[in-house]
């Protein structure tokens, strides 16, 4: 199975936003809280920028972006507009570490000074905008997709609530994920369980999340195609 779909940058066209080839590897921060308490205390620039900027036919996400830690090498992410731009550390914001308590962990943030926009780096064990840890979610989804064969992982009541909501959300994501992944999914109309098992035959959840972000510019539980746009400095 190949993940080389080559999607990732939004292209402006008459029919709305299609996906262009040769995408960068980021996706922007989701702008709405999935539910209260999952996003932390500070969310970076909050303005909404509905205008589109075209760069050689490509439309780039604008505003704060989020990349997965393993999507780049080195101690900081490159600027998605121009990898030669200097990117500086730019503080951090707190995000709830898990579903179970109010403990927060810092998400590092970087600033491309020429572009004037920030890039936050999500640890690989984190889901975008969900407090539930990636390893726990993976085990729960495995159990949901294989009832009677794979036991549910131990979880607290709060975690069980998070996990239940996440699986319910994933069940709603089957059609858009199929549309994105296309021929990589062999079943014509897979159930959520079939889709999950097929994704898992390919890889583990951290890798699935990374590869949905790059090149597909999406994620497991959210559609990131409703984007702000990041324009190149002129």
**Footprint of Zn ion (CB under 5 A):** 79, 81, 85, 112, 114-115
Work out how close the CB of 100 gets to Zn ion at its nearest, in angstroms, rounded to a whole number.
Answer: 38
DSSP state for residue 30 in the 8-state scheme = P
| Cβ-based nearer residue to Zn ion, 8 or 206 | 8
Phi, psi angles (nearest 5°) of residue 108: -70, 145
Work out how close the CB of 113 gets to Zn ion at its nearest, in angstroms, rounded to a whole number.
Answer: 8
Work out how close the CB of 199 gets to Zn ion at its nearest, in angstroms, rounded to a whole number.
Answer: 33
Work out how close the CB of 112 gets to Zn ion at its nearest, in angstroms, rounded to a whole number.
Answer: 3
| Cβ-based nearer residue to Zn ion, 110 or 141 | 110
| Cβ-based nearer residue to Zn ion, 109 or 222 | 109
d(CA 155, CA 90): 35
From 20, 68, 49, select the one nearest 207 (Cα to Cα). Answer: 68
Cβ neighbors of 22 (< 8 A, separation 6 or more) are: 6, 8, 9
Cis peptide before 215 (omega within 30 of 0): yes
| Cβ-based nearer residue to Zn ion, 30 or 62 | 62
């Amino acid at each position: 199975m190949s993940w080389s779909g080559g999607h990732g940058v939004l292209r402006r066209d008459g029919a709305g936003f299609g996906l262009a080839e040769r995408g960068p590897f980021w996706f922007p921060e989701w702008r709405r809280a999935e539910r209260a308490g999952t996003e932390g205390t500070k969310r970076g620039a909050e303005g909404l920028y509905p205008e589109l900027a075209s760069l050689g036919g490509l439309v780039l996400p604008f505003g704060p972006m989020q990349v997965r830690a393993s999507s780049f090498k080195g101690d900081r992410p490159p600027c998605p507009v121009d990898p030669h731009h200097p990117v500086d550390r730019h503080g951090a914001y707190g995000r709830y570490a898990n579903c179970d308590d109010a403990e927060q962990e810092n998400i590092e943030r970087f600033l491309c000074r020429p572009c004037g926009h920030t890039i936050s780096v999500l640890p690989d064990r984190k889901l975008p905008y969900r407090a539930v840890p990636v390893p726990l979610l993976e085990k729960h989804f495995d159990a949901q997709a294989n009832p009677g064969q794979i036991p549910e992982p131990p979880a607290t009541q709060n975690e069980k609530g998070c996990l239940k909501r996440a699986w319910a959300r994933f069940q709603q994501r089957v059609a858009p994920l199929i549309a994105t992944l296309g021929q990589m999914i062999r079943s014509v109309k897979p159930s959520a369980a079939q889709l999950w098992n097929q994704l898992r035959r390919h890889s583990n959840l951290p890798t699935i999340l990374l590869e949905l972000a790059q090149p597909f510019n999406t994620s497991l539980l959210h559609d990131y195609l409703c984007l702000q746009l990041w324009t190149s400095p002129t």
